């Protein structure tokens, strides 16, 4: 490998290209992130002791260093070590031969493996003899430069605000790779995407990928997974009761469970089943709710745990100490649970998608429950929302997460979409209890891949939950 880009998703897609000298064009409107991206490439190589020269006409060194430091790139240190060179091109009014001469001297003096020109437009605009011919000469020079340095040349290309079309001229033909950075406002939020327009020697899997620029982390690109990678066998989870085994067949990390319920009856059972499977398997669980904050989620979980403990006492003929139980419950919550409430309307859809993935990554949970996405679905256009959900499901599958999506079922289309991408489906219903027509009993209709639907009754469900929570209950038993 001669160089890399320093962004895992892209490095992965384009690794074939990195064995050969290459010309990369990064194009975009002002503010789209070109300088940040180019600097990331420069920095990532410098850190790995490949010399990088950053040639610029418009960036102020101090400002660039400060901005990039906030984005997690310490340019000062790689500069000190001699792997990063900031070069200001003083070519106002210079002519073509002078530019070429300057460039050649820089290459000779620094012998960089990576060269960034930020930007090619500024370089051309500052040349006295900017003619068609001069352009062609310069482009020819850059076409050959990767071979000369045996590395990577990055040309940053500014697209003026008023232009939507991307006019790269000859660059379209000489570049090995073209990446276009875009940003737009969606529902009042900034959304960034990058498009790989052309990538010689690499299969382009995805045309457009969302990305963010955030404090400390810098530029982060998110790609949807390649479907072939999915379906690898994840770790199989133990199910706490026979009824669930009969209904689901099996449940493993990487599965997607869709759980739906009527909007006016929100069953605690769904949340508790997920929680009990986590406890039973000693796995980390995260609940991301669009409806409740983290405190309310903890209260709900405690309420369910308390109720399940009374059922456990009945089936096992034991007594549980409430205070000890509360302690044990809190220990699990603290050690193995991440509860997050987010307001989905504080983000654009793309941002939310990224935010959710980030939250899940950070929590390092094995089991993730999204709770109440129906609120979000209610305001989305299906053509925007469905691909995003689809990609997210597969991305989390590829990362080996058991995902449970629990939604109210008032939107028929989303209910069907949710079901069609699930490995296990649970539909909750209220019915009058067989033994008492004045009371309501909850039913869960469970479908697991390759099986017929199975009806789980109220008490069976709570029995399963209680058995799943056994590891916590056992520690709180009253002896004697
Ligand atoms: N610390 C930061 N946190 C979040 N975003 C930042 C930060 N610093 C810069 N940005 C964003 O990066 C963008 C600037 O990117 P830049 O690489 O200079 O664009 P370009 O070179 O395409 O004009 C700005 O839109 C700004 O919002
Ligand atoms: Mg810039």
CA of 240 to the centre of ligand 2 (A): 57
In a domain, 324, yes or no: yes
Domain final residue pick, 223, 255, 288: 223
Average pLDDT over residues 337-344: 90
Say if residue 265's pLDDT is above 80.
no
Please give the pLDDT value at position 98.
Answer: 84
Residue 385 sits in the same domain as residue 420: yes
Say if residue 229's pLDDT is above 50.
no
In a domain, 86, yes or no: yes
Atom of ligand 1 nearest to the CA of 32: 22
Residue 339 sits in the same domain as residue 237: yes
Residue 347 sits in the same domain as residue 457: yes
Which CATH number belongs to the domain containing residue 192 in this structure?
3.40.50.300
The whole domain housing 296 covers 229-474
CB-count burial class (<10 Å; 0-12, 13-18, 19+) for 240: buried
Find the ligand nearest to 191 CA.
Answer: 1
Distance of CA 312 to the CA centre of its chain: 39
Residue 218 sits in the same domain as residue 244: no
CA of 213 to the centre of ligand 1 (A): 7
Find the ligand nearest to 54 CA.
Answer: 2
The Cα–Cα gap between 176 and 64 comes to 27
Of the ranges 19-23, 47-51, 333-337, which one carries the lowest mean pLDDT score? 19-23
Residue 241 sits in the same domain as residue 215: no
Determine contact, residues 338/363, Cβ cutoff 8 Å: yes
Residue 254 sits in the same domain as residue 162: no
Give the residues surrounding ligand 1 with Cβ less than 6 Å away.
28, 30-36, 67, 70-71, 213-215
CA triple 432-436-438, angle to 5 deg: 65
Atom of ligand 1 nearest to the CA of 39: 17
Q: How confident is the model at residue 228 (pLDDT cuts 50, 70, 90)?
A: very low
Determine contact, residues 366/402, Cβ cutoff 8 Å: yes
Atom of ligand 1 nearest to the CA of 181: 22
* Test site for ligand 1: of 7, 32, 36, most ligand atoms within 8 A of the Cβ: 36
The Cα–Cα gap between 211 and 223 comes to 9
CA of 118 to the centre of ligand 2 (A): 7
CA of 155 to the centre of ligand 1 (A): 18
Please give the pLDDT value at position 227.
Answer: 47
The Cα–Cα gap between 153 and 2 comes to 12
Domain final residue pick, 223, 238, 264: 223
44-84 tens-digit pLDDT: 999 999 999 999 988 999 999 999 999 999 999 999 999 99
Residue 317 sits in the same domain as residue 378: yes
The Cα–Cα gap between 118 and 136 comes to 18
Atom of ligand 1 nearest to the CA of 119: 21
Atom of ligand 1 nearest to the CA of 156: 21
In a domain, 480, yes or no: no
184-210 tens-digit pLDDT: 877 677 888 888 876 665 555 556 788
Tokens 């064995």, located at residue? 19
Mean pLDDT rounded to a whole number for the chain: 87
In a domain, 1, yes or no: no
The Cα–Cα gap between 257 and 235 comes to 15
Number of domains the chain is built from: 2
Please give the pLDDT value at position 287.
Answer: 95
134-171 tens-digit pLDDT: 778 888 899 899 999 999 999 999 888 776 555 566 77
Residue 423 sits in the same domain as residue 468: yes
Atom of ligand 1 nearest to the CA of 183: 25
Of the ranges 17-31, 91-105, 208-222, 351-365, which one carries the lowest mean pLDDT score? 91-105
| Bigger pLDDT: 135 vs 278 | 278
* Test site for ligand 1: of 67, 211, 213, 215, most ligand atoms within 8 A of the Cβ: 213
Domain final residue pick, 206, 223, 240: 223
Q: How confident is the model at residue 22 (pLDDT cuts 50, 70, 90)?
A: very high
CA of 84 to the centre of ligand 2 (A): 18
CA of 29 to the centre of ligand 2 (A): 9
Please give the pLDDT value at position 385.
Answer: 83
| Alpha carbon distances (Å) from 424 to 20, 231, 374, 399, 406 | 46, 14, 18, 18, 12
In a domain, 139, yes or no: yes
Determine contact, residues 372/408, Cβ cutoff 8 Å: yes
Atom of ligand 1 nearest to the CA of 158: 22
Bridge partners of 141, per DSSP, are none
Please give the pLDDT value at position 187.
Answer: 67
Q: DSSP letter string over 313-346?
A: HHHHT--B-HHHHHHHHHHHHHHHEEEEE--GGG
421-476 tens-digit pLDDT: 888 999 988 887 777 778 777 888 888 887 788 888 888 999 999 999 999 999 99
Please give the pLDDT value at position 201.
Answer: 59
* Test site for ligand 1: of 7, 28, 33, most ligand atoms within 8 A of the Cβ: 33
CA of 39 to the centre of ligand 2 (A): 10
Please give the pLDDT value at position 4.
Answer: 94
Residue 61 sits in the same domain as residue 191: yes
Find the ligand nearest to 57 CA.
Answer: 2
Atom of ligand 1 nearest to the CA of 30: 23
CA of 322 to the centre of ligand 2 (A): 61
The end-to-end CA distance of the chain, in Å, is: 68
- Cα dihedral 34/37/42/48 (nearest 10): -170
Please give the pLDDT value at position 164.
Answer: 59
Residue 213 sits in the same domain as residue 263: no
Average pLDDT over residues 109-129: 87
Residue 433 sits in the same domain as residue 300: yes
Q: DSSP letter string over 363-407?
A: HT-SEEEEE-THHHHTTS-HHHHHHHHHHHHHHHHHTT-EEEEEE
CA triple 302-303-304, angle to 5 deg: 90
Please give the pLDDT value at position 147.
Answer: 95
| Bigger pLDDT: 42 vs 429 | 42
Average pLDDT over residues 305-309: 97
For 118, the 3-state DSSP assignment is strand
Of the candidates 356, 209, 204, which has an alpha carbon nearest to the alpha carbon of residue 290? Answer: 356
CA of 313 to the centre of ligand 1 (A): 59
In a domain, 403, yes or no: yes
Of the candidates 175, 172, 192, 151, which has an alpha carbon nearest to the alpha carbon of residue 41? Answer: 151
| Bigger pLDDT: 40 vs 163 | 40
Tokens of 364: 């390092």
Q: How confident is the model at residue 86 (pLDDT cuts 50, 70, 90)?
A: very high
Residue 168 sits in the same domain as residue 235: no
In a domain, 16, yes or no: yes
Q: Whose CA is nearest to atom 10 of ligand 1?
A: 213
CA of 98 to the centre of ligand 2 (A): 24
């Amino acid at each position: 490998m001669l160089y890399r880009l320093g962004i895992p998703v892209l490095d992965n897609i384009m690794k074939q290209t990195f064995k050969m000298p290459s010309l990369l064009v990064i194009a975009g409107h002002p503010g789209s992130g070109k300088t940040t991206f180019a600097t990331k490439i420069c920095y990532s190589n410098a850190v790995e002791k490949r010399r990088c020269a950053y040639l610029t006409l418009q960036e102020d060194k101090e400002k660039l260093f400060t901005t990039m430091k906030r984005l997690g790139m310490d340019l000062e240190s790689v500069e000190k070590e001699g792997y990063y060179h900031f070069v200001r091109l003083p070519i106002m009014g210079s002519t073509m031969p002078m530019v070429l001469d300057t460039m050649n001297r820089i290459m000779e003096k620094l012998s960089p493996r990576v060269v960034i020109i930020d930007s090619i437009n500024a370089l051309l605009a500052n040349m006295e003899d900017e003619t068609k011919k001069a352009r062609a000469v310069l482009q020819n020079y850059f076409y050959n430069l990767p071979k000369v340095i045996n590395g990577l040349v990055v040309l940053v290309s500014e697209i003026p605000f008023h232009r939507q079309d991307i006019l790269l001229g000859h660059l379209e033909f000489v570049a090995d790779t073209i990446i276009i950075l875009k940003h737009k406002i969606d529902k009042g939020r900034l959304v960034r995407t990058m498009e790989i327009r052309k990538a010689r020697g690499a299969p382009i899997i995805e045309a457009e990928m969302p990305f963010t620029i955030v404090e400390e982390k810098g530029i982060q690109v998110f790609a949807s997974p390649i479907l072939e990678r999915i379906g690898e066998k994840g770790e199989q989870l133990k199910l706490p009761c026979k009824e669930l085994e009969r209904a689901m067949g099996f449940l493993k990390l990487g599965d997607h469970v869709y759980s739906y319920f009527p909007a006016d009856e929100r069953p605690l059972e769904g949340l508790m089943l997920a929680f009990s499977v986590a406890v039973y398997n000693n796995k980390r669980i995260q609940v991301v709710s669009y409806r409740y904050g983290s405190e309310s989620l903890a209260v709900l979980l405690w309420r369910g745990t308390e109720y399940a403990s009374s059922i456990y006492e009945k089936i096992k003929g034991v007594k549980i100490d409430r205070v000890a139980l509360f302690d044990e419950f809190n220990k699990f919550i603290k050690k193995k649970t991440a509860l997050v409430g987010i307001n989905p309307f504080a983000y654009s859809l793309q941002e939310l998608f990224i935010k959710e993935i980030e939250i899940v990554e950070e929590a390092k949970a094995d089991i993730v429950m999204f709770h109440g996405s129906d609120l979000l679905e209610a305001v989305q256009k299906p053509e925007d929302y469905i691909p995003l959900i689809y990609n997210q499901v597969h991305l989390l599958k590829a990362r080996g997460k058991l995902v449970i999506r629990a939604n109210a079922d008032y939107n028929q289309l989303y209910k069907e979409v949710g079901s069609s991408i699930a490995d296990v489906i649970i539909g909750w219903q209220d019915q009058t209890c067989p033994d008492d027509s004045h009371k309501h009993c909850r039913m869960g209709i469970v479908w697991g891949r390759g099986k017929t639907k199975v009806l789980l009754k109220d008490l069976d469900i709570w029995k399963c939950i209680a058995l799943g929570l056994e590891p916590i209950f056992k520690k709180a038993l009253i002896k004697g």
